[in-house]
Chain A
Amino acid sequence: GAVVSQHPSRVICKSGTSVKIECRSLDFQATTMFWYRQFPKKSLMLMATSNEGSKATYEQGVEKDKFLINHASLTLSTLTVTSAHPEDSSFYICSARDMPGDVNEQFFGPGTRLTVL
């Protein structure tokens, strides 16, 4: 199956700093990538939908100026958590749709655990 990677897998940062997380589709092109956040013992919450070459679509309640998303190519999307605070500590997971494969199947990256001190 299709492979999606994320980097870094784990990051610890100080409050007020910015953190960039990369999501790459390794063996397929992804016009659409999704960014999720998952708090302990909770389900995945969609933060935003990232489309190559256009602005991301953010879910209600997600601050676009705090969570900057860039989808510059068909294989790479980045999420930057700006001015991170302890409440931003979470498990961030990206997923990507294969193109021109099944429009509904998503392939998930391994996730990035962010801890803000």
Chain B
Amino acid sequence: GQNIDQPTEMTATEGAIVQINCTYQTSGFNGLFWYQQHAGEAPTFLSYNVLDGLEEKGRFSSFLSRSKGYSYLLLKELQMKDSASYLCALSPGGYQKVTFGTGTKLQVIP
């Protein structure tokens, strides 16, 4: 099975940088997703890490360490619209189901 841990809530200031951590335990691993979900809306895809290291995509970057069972999502130059929940999700491989963490609710304040 899989177990995913994320902080429940975080607050950060507009224009700042915030790092959202995700730790996991899993019997099988193929990759790790990060999704953004605004209240009342469906999740939207942010990133998918398969190999160790940092992947940068604009203001968002995602890091993975498979040996440590650890990932983080880094948001730079925070904007008010970044206030949302950020979901870490595990893909065990192949066509198996993706397991979602409980999500981190990020509040960006002026």
Q: Write out the residue numbers on chain B whose beta carbons fall within 8 Å of the beta carbon of A109.
A: 42
Q: Which residues of chain B from 81 to 110 have any CB-CB distance to chain A below 8 Å in the complex?
A: 87, 91, 94-95, 97-103, 105
Identify which of B10-18, B20-28, B43-51 touches chain A.
Answer: B43-51
Chief secondary structure at chain B's binding surface: loop
Interface size on A, residues (CB 8 A): 23
**CB-contact partner of B91 in A93, A104, A108, A113, under 8 A:** A104
Q: How far is the CB of A11 from chain B (nearest CB, A)?
A: 15
Q: Which A residue's beta carbon lies closest to that of B88?
A: A43
User: Would A43 and B48 be within 8 Å (CB), given that A110-B42, A111-B42 are in contact?
Assistant: no
Docked complex: A96-114 residues within 8 A CB-CB of B: 97, 103-111, 113
Query: How far, in Å, is A99 (CB) from chain B's closest CB?
Result: 11
Specify the chain B residue showing the minimal Cβ separation from A46.
B97
Interface size class of B (residues with CB under 8 A): 20 to 34
Q: What residues of B have a CB within 8 angstroms of the CB of A77 in the complex?
A: none
Provide the residues of chain B in CB contact with A111, threshold 8 Å.
40-42
Interchain residue pairs with CB less than 8 A apart (29)? A32-B95, A34-B97, A34-B98, A41-B105, A42-B102, A43-B87, A43-B100, A43-B101, A43-B102, A44-B43, A44-B100, A45-B100, A46-B97, A46-B98, A46-B99, A46-B100, A93-B42, A103-B95, A104-B30, A104-B31, A104-B91, A104-B98, A105-B45, A106-B98, A107-B45, A108-B42, A108-B43, A108-B44, A111-B42
- Could you tell me which B residues sit within 8 Å of A by CB distance? 30-31, 40-45, 48, 87, 91, 94-95, 97-103, 105
